[in-house]
Amino acid sequence: MNWQAIFSIYRYEMNRTFRTIAQSIVSPVLSTVLYFVVFGSAIGQRIDTVEGIDYGAFIVPGLVMLTLLQQSVTNASFGIYFPKFIGTIYELLSAPLSFIEIVIGYVGAAASKALMIAAIILITSTFFVDLQIAHPFWMLAFLVLTAVSFALLGFIIGIWAGNFEQLQLIPLLVITPLVFLGGAFYSVSMLPPGWQTVTQFNPVLYLISGFRWSFFGVADVPVGISIAAICVFLAICIAVIWAIFRTGWRIKP
Amino acid sequence: MTAIISIKGLEKTYADGFEALKGVDLDIHEGEILALLGPNGAGKTTLISTVCGLVTPSAGQISVGGHDIASEFRAARSLIGLVPQEITIEPFEKVINTVRFSRGLFGKRRDDAHIEKVLRSLSLWEKRNNRNQELSGGMKRRVLIAKALSHEPRVLFLDEPTAGVDVTLRREMWELVRQLRADGVIIILTTHYIEEAEEMADRIGVIDHGRLLLVEEKQKLLHQLGRKELLLELAEPLDEVPGSLAEYDLELSDDRLHLTYEFDAHAERTGMTRLMGAISEAGLSLKDLSTRQSSLEDVFLKLVQDGRATAEEGAE
């Protein structure tokens, strides 16, 4: 293992985060605070509690998940797409690096950054609501597993994308709607029965439900299924990346 | 001489069916500067990219320092520095950070003394804290060289180092390459400027349509180029070369008004004086005369044309 190279990629990517701190950190935090004000305070005044939980607190796990998913996908996709776009990827390919090391460097940095922002949002939310975390270990596990698997997904998108439009396509058109429809701001039991069934097919539902369970001990779906779902997703992403690098798809003619 | 890079039967066919390399064999030796000369699209960049790991070969073997580039890619690639043709550089990062990053990718510990040495030798030290996008084109190209040298490679590939570069900068680049060679770096450069190959290289390889047409010591090549031609324009058309001039192997042109005499410019006796005497004895009157020397360009063009002719015959 070329640890030095993994560390170099990781540090280089993290530097990029701090160099563009307004765009990388301030903006996601600000938009989450806005969600919080609109949903938590404005709408929250009309909805007292959901499943016995104060509405303001109820939406916190959903908000954290929303940001975590968006951030890990966009950071990782941009991280690998940018060298492809400007051509500096030649350097990664001609270095004594295995693909595993490239993935660890980029995905590790993207996941770290997403986790940092998630932590900031979580801390910020404690200024607005009373938060108790029932299962801290599982909360952390959900955060890390989600950040890593969606950073892997982002990496795949970055390799696949041929232009900036494609790069944004999946985060905007797939991830964000799935999070909104995955019970970020409501409990699935509040939906009409037909929609409850449809929602079962939304993979993000399992993430948000499991993550919320780690805070409040209540979930829309059994937590075991949530954990299994995220593990399956992680395995699929790893398999796809392995296949990409075996064939050199879109990277190496 | 030992070969630092050995290429055997290298072929590359791209997914769209384009055959970029059609069986290239090449050994690159310790301590040399090799110039790969060829027109655009000849396969120069594909050849370099394959050795450096950017392109997967379709067939053939490549070893660098005795290490196979596929099975021992870490050992092989550690020896190589690559300067790409296009200026590809992270615009927003500082010069020194991009160079440090390159060193890190090669698994080497941070070494500020070495980075300083490299940046100073490329006159970039003053600019180390500038962002790459603030640099001029020539400086950006030097940053690419600094990146390639950051991990102390033994072999440096320069892909068209002076393409689109002005004359002053080209001279500077040549000076730099010589200095690198003096430091013991083996250099392979591609170019489509014959002048550049003539100026820089110890050996010259001519490549066209994916084939290596010739690899020759520059001196030998230049010697072959020492041939000169004397062109004699006659006042009156001539039916045939007079028998008394047979020993000079003169060639009569189709319009029967020109005679060509070939001689070795480096030889002690060119035979020119005797020829002039013989011509006047034969009663020929001359209107004009001129000499011309075949250049590397002629040889190159001839090789490329012959190569294409052979390829077409083969295809028929």
pLDDT of residue A23: 81
Residue B141, chain A, CB below 8 Å: the answer is: no
Please, which residues bridge with residue B186 across strands? B155
pLDDT tens for residues A4-37?
999 999 999 999 888 888 888 888 888 888 888 8
Across the interface, of B54, B75, B147, the residue whose CB is closest to A252 is B54
Q: Which of A203, A197, A198 is nearest to A228 (CA)?
A: A203
Higher pLDDT, B110 or A250: B110
Sheet with B3-13, side-by-side order of all strands: B19-29, B3-13, B59-64, B67-68
Residue B234: pLDDT over 70: yes
pLDDT of residue A22: 82
Half-sphere exposure of residue B285: CA atoms within 13 angstroms, side-chain side: 3
Q: Which two three-digit tokens encode residue B215?
A: 């690899």
Confidence of residue A109 (pLDDT cuts 50, 70, 90): very high
pLDDT tens for residues A200-230?
888 889 989 999 999 998 888 899 999 999 9
Q: What is the mean pLDDT of chain B?
A: 89
Which residues fall within 8 angstroms of residue A108, CB to CB, at 6 or more apart? Answer: A6, A10, A151
Residue B104, chain A, CB below 8 Å: the answer is: yes
Interface contact flag, A253 B107, Cβ < 8 Å = no
Interface contact flag, B105 A90, Cβ < 8 Å = no
Interface contact flag, A95 B106, Cβ < 8 Å = yes
Residue A137, chain B, CB below 8 Å: the answer is: no
Residue B308: pLDDT over 80: no
ipTM: 0.87
Across the interface, of B52, B73, B104, the residue whose CB is closest to A7 is B104
Compute the distance between CA of residue B95 and CA of residue A226 in angstroms, rounded to an integer. 46
Confidence of residue B248 (pLDDT cuts 50, 70, 90): confident
pLDDT tens for residues B48-58?
999 999 999 99
| Helix-helix angle B95-105:A3-19, to 10 degrees | 150
pLDDT of residue B26: 96
pLDDT tens for residues B81-140?
999 998 999 999 999 999 999 999 999 999 999 999 999 988 899 999 999 999 988 899
Residue B214: pLDDT over 70: yes
Compute the distance between CA of residue A180 and CA of residue A185 in angstroms, rounded to an integer. 7
Query: Which range is most confident: B129-143, B165-179, B187-201, B299-313?
Result: B129-143
What phi and psi values does residue A52 have, to the nearest 5 degrees? 80, 5
Q: Which two three-digit tokens encode residue A128?
A: 């607005």
Residue B44: pLDDT over 90: yes
Compute the distance between CA of residue B197 and CA of residue B178 in angstroms, rounded to an integer. 13
- Span of A45-49, B2-6, B31-35 with lowest mean pLDDT: A45-49
Rounded to the nearest angstrom, the minimum Cα separation between A250 and chain B is 11
Residue B316: pLDDT over 60: no
Three-state SS at A180 = helix
Annotate A198-223 with DSSP letters as a single string: HHTT-HHHHHHHHHHHHHHS--SS-H
pLDDT of residue B314: 63
Residues A156-181, mean pLDDT to the nearest whole number: 90
Q: Which residues of A touch B109 (CB under 8 A)?
A: 4
Q: Where are the domains of chain A?
A: 3-247
Residues A151-169, mean pLDDT to the nearest whole number: 93
Q: Which of A112, A144, A118 is nearest to A210 (CA)?
A: A144
Across the interface, of B101, B103, B107, the residue whose CB is closest to A2 is B107
pLDDT of residue B24: 95
Half-sphere exposure of residue A56: CA atoms within 13 angstroms, side-chain side: 19
pLDDT of residue A251: 83
Residues B214-226, mean pLDDT to the nearest whole number: 80
Residues A112-133, mean pLDDT to the nearest whole number: 89
Compute the distance between CA of residue B248 and CA of residue B122 in angstroms, rounded to an integer. 54
Sketch out chain B's domains with CATH numbers.
3-223 (3.40.50.300), 226-293 (3.30.70.1560)
Three-state SS at A98 = coil
Residues B199-217, mean pLDDT to the nearest whole number: 90
Residue B80, chain A, CB below 8 Å: the answer is: yes
pLDDT of residue A110: 96
